[in-house]
Structure 1
Amino acid sequence: MSRPQPIPFKPEKKRIIGHEGLKPLLLALVIGTLGGFVFDYLRMPLAWMLGACVFSTVAAFSGLRIGMRIRLRQGMIIIMGVLLGAGFTPDLVQRLGQWAVSLVVLTGMTMTGATLSYLWFRRFTDWDKPTCYFAAMPGGLNDMTIMGGAMGGEERSIALAHALRILTVVLTIPVWYRLVNGAQTSVLTMTHGPSSYDWQDYAILTACGIAGALLGRLLRLPASFMMGPMILSAIVHLSGVTDSKPPGELVAAAQIVMGTGIGCRFVGAAIDRLHKEMAASIGAAILLIVCAVVFAKITVAITGLDLDATVLSYAPGGFAEMSLIGLALGVEIAMVATHHLFRLFLIILTGPFVFRFGLRRER
């Protein structure tokens, strides 16, 4: 019997990441949960997502049949959106003025980092200009993959570059804070869900999640399943309707699903055949991290903002992942979420125009 060939690495389909079927899903969740327990035992920040991410990535590269259903991941992202919205406090309006300068610097940092990454990919890969350009943009994996494919780029390479960027950032920043700053917060203690008598709060949080997801899809917001619930949750928390958050156990489960989903993206990615592209993608991610730290220090020198919050606000990770890291490290979630949403809008709105008028497409 011939040995089954791995499926080709590609961006998320409509229904599945990795292998399809119930058994690959259950195996992925078991592996991710085991990783979460191990990293929680080691007192790592963002332990459940980081552990699930590492263990599932190793499983994917080892050839295990694991997979993640998009619907399950979207449901857990809704929970994280409601949780992040709870970080918006009534003094947010007073803070917006302080963030104005930081958002301007973020714009310059995004342009600088994307340019350096583009030149890096042109130097160390055989990709064409469209592929290098959209692989270098620190935007959402799916958004950049779809845009890049429409502009003539190679979707597989763009998806690989962004998946490795997110993986590198998720593995680097929490570990740095654990080893250098001693950060070891557990999600089971950093969130407080409604008490057994606060059924009204449960109803409010549930409504924010469901209505927010529908609103996000209707308005076609980027990261709609997180952004919509986050906006509605922020509104009810800013208005003082509730101050509750989703229970810690539910947040841990959501992190396991999200971390496992990251690892499942590498199903079918053969290191021996993609080592050059993978090395270049990891190098570009490190370049973006260094760029974020340098610009964050410039911003702190100008504005006096908290350095940790500014670094996480500028870090080139995914919107959901960086917001969760900020939550785990106890920094100002509203600042981190606002900056990453601004970056997403900036790239999605300007990226295609800059490419169309600034670069000549290769045949």
Structure 2
Amino acid sequence: MTLALAIGAAGGFLFFLMHLPLPWMLGALTASMTAAIMGLPVLPPNRIRPATVAVIGVMLGARFTPELVALAGAWTVSLALLSVYMLCVSAVTVPYYRFAAKTDWQTAYLAGMPAGLTEMVELGEEKGADVKAIILAHTLRIVITVALVAIWFRLIEGRNVGAMPNFGSAPLTALDAALLLLCAIIGTWVGKILRFPAPAFMGPLAASAILHATGVTASAPPALIVIAAQIILGTLLGCRFIGVRPIVLARAAWLSLWATLATLLIALAFAALIHSVVGVSTDQVILALAPGGLTEMGLIALAINADVAFVALHHVARILIVILLAKPVFALLPKR
């Protein structure tokens, strides 16, 4: 794990020196993925993952300001359009994985729908689907989405995706630090009790959002923690490729590339629609609809100072839609 983190940090630093988009996450991911495929003795730093995602959840929750929450009522329209967007995505990606990847329908649904990896794997094990194919599809989807979205904002829109996020000027006092620490600890505990998706992330995010939305605190963890979080997350993603043969990875990457591109094109179309109807900036809608992980898209939103609350809410809604539709959809899908 130490070697994996060292390789990830070196990759992030190299990407930073090369002025590449989202350098710390993509650099760590690229370096650790290369090490995993080459068979170097690396392991994912799973022991520190819960603490890492809890810190990220607290950071993202800090963007739920009282002024922002006052605008949340206008998001009901975009959430309704999100449901239509998910239907369009499913109509494309599920048949694609069924026939292009030659999987069964259950595996095609769980691999093609952009939801949380953990939730999809659990459903796959329950339904007897191809779990390895599901893991590869979701891991590659997140990797490809993070890379393409970061490149889009850097090269097409000229945004400094590698910049440190702006947390505002509120000082971090000892009381504020204690409150944020409690958000991470108690939020994780409550998230597990309430069975939130990704409880170590969603619980602290919700706790931090409540404190910031009610004006109890306006502080956030030091911005440099974002760099450490990106290195750890990138390393975790890269280490998922341990033991994967290059030929298997190449085929899965080819399939995932086209599925992800199709999903992103649909997301772009709906981003333009939601922007015209709701008035939310296209950048924020793209991050809210992009089929990447909630944590990863949240970090990009932080990097470009986008509305993290809008992005997080729509990703949570997207995951819940996929999970709630799973059983009714399975009942309609053919068995083979």
Q: TM-score, normalised by structure 1?
A: 0.88
- Identify which range, 280-289 or 331-340, moves more after superposition: 280-289
SS of residue matched to 1:67: coil
SS of residue matched to 2:44: strand
Q: In structure 1, how many angstroms separate the alpha carbons of the residues matched to 2:22 and 2:206?
A: 23
| Residue number in structure 2 paired with 1:57 | 33
Q: In structure 2, how many angstroms separate the alpha carbons of the residues matched to 1:304 and 1:254?
A: 32
- Identify which range, 108-117 or 50-59, moves more after superposition: 50-59
Which of 52, 69, 78 in structure 2 is aligned with 1:102? 78
TM-fit CA distance, 1:179: 1.2
- Superposed, 1:232-271 pairs within 5 Å as 232-271=207-246
| Residue number in structure 2 paired with 1:334 | 309
Count of equivalent residues: 336
The structure-2 alpha-carbon separation of the partners of 1:143 and 1:189, relative to structure 1 and needing over 3 Å to count, comes to closer
| Residue number in structure 2 paired with 1:35 | 11
Mark the runs of 5 or more structure 2 residues left unpaired by the alignment: none
TM-fit CA distance, 1:190: 3.2
C-alpha contact (below 8 Å) 2:153/2:159 kept by paired residues: yes
1:231 and 2:227 are equivalent in the alignment: no
Q: In structure 1, how many angstroms separate the alpha carbons of the residues matched to 2:30 and 2:158?
A: 20
TM-fit CA distance, 1:185: 4.7
Q: In structure 1, how many angstroms separate the alpha carbons of the residues matched to 2:139 and 2:251?
A: 15
Could you report, residue by residue, the CA deviation over 1:16-39 in whole angstroms, capped at 9, with x for unpaired residues? xxxxxxxxx111101111122122
The residue type paired with residue 359 of structure 1 is L
- Superposed, 1:182-221 pairs within 5 Å as 182-186=158-162, 188=164, 190-191=166-167, 195=171, 198-221=173-196
| Residue number in structure 2 paired with 1:359 | 333
TM-fit CA distance, 1:186: 4.5
Which of 261, 276, 292 in structure 1 is aligned with 2:267? 292
- Identify which range, 48-57 or 165-174, moves more after superposition: 48-57
SS of residue matched to 2:215: coil
The residue type paired with residue 54 of structure 1 is T
| Residue number in structure 1 paired with 2:106 | 130
Q: In structure 1, how many angstroms separate the alpha carbons of the residues matched to 2:169 and 2:28?
A: 23
Q: TM-score, normalised by structure 2?
A: 0.95
The structure-2 alpha-carbon separation of the partners of 1:214 and 1:194, relative to structure 1 and needing over 3 Å to count, comes to farther
* Aligned residues with identical type, % of pairs: 38
The residue type paired with residue 296 of structure 1 is A
- Identify which range, 286-295 or 159-168, moves more after superposition: 286-295
- Identify which range, 138-147 or 68-77, moves more after superposition: 68-77
Mark the runs of 5 or more structure 1 residues left unpaired by the alignment: 1-24
The residue type paired with residue 267 of structure 1 is I
TM-fit CA distance, 1:153: 0.7
The residue type paired with residue 31 of structure 2 is F
C-alpha contact (below 8 Å) 2:165/2:304 kept by paired residues: no
Q: In structure 2, how many angstroms separate the alpha carbons of the residues matched to 1:192 and 1:92?
A: 14
